[in-house]
Amino acid sequence: MVELDFSIVLAFILIMVLITPLVLSIYYRKKPKVDKGLKFAYHGLSYRRKFLRNLYSIPICIVALAIIYWVEGFTNLFIFFSLFFIVLFGIQTSYNYIKWKKEED
């Protein structure tokens, strides 16, 4: 059985995480945005729907942080991920709210 080096797997995952949103944002750039109904692709939503989806993700983030706390305990990793999620969530939600309000005007 072939063993993969952890750094190779991690690098592949990071590349995919960085490339996928870029490709999707380019694909959905000129397409009309969905404001009603169910849409799986985040990039195909209007700013209002993106804002609402961010608000709906609060329980998921809390559960993810609870799982990290349960597995790792109160460590530096837990503090890092908690602060990272909170800051990233705040920036993304604020951005979508501001763009939604500009879009309304």
Domain-wise residue ranges, the chain = 6-104
Within 10 angstroms of residue 100's Cβ, the number of other Cβ atoms is 16
Question: For 44-57, what is the mean pLDDT?
Answer: 91
How far CA 15 is from CA of 26, 50, 54, 94, in Å, comes to 17, 24, 24, 26
Using the predicted structure, report yes or no on whether residue 21 has a pLDDT greater than 70: yes
Using the predicted structure, report yes or no on whether residue 1 has a pLDDT greater than 70: no
User: Worst-scoring range by mean pLDDT, 13-17, 77-81, 92-96?
Assistant: 77-81
Work out the percent of the chain whose per-residue pLDDT is above 90.
34
pTM value? 0.74
pLDDT at res. 41: 82
Report residue 66's pLDDT band, with 50, 70 and 90 as the boundaries.
confident
Beta bridge partners of 45: 34
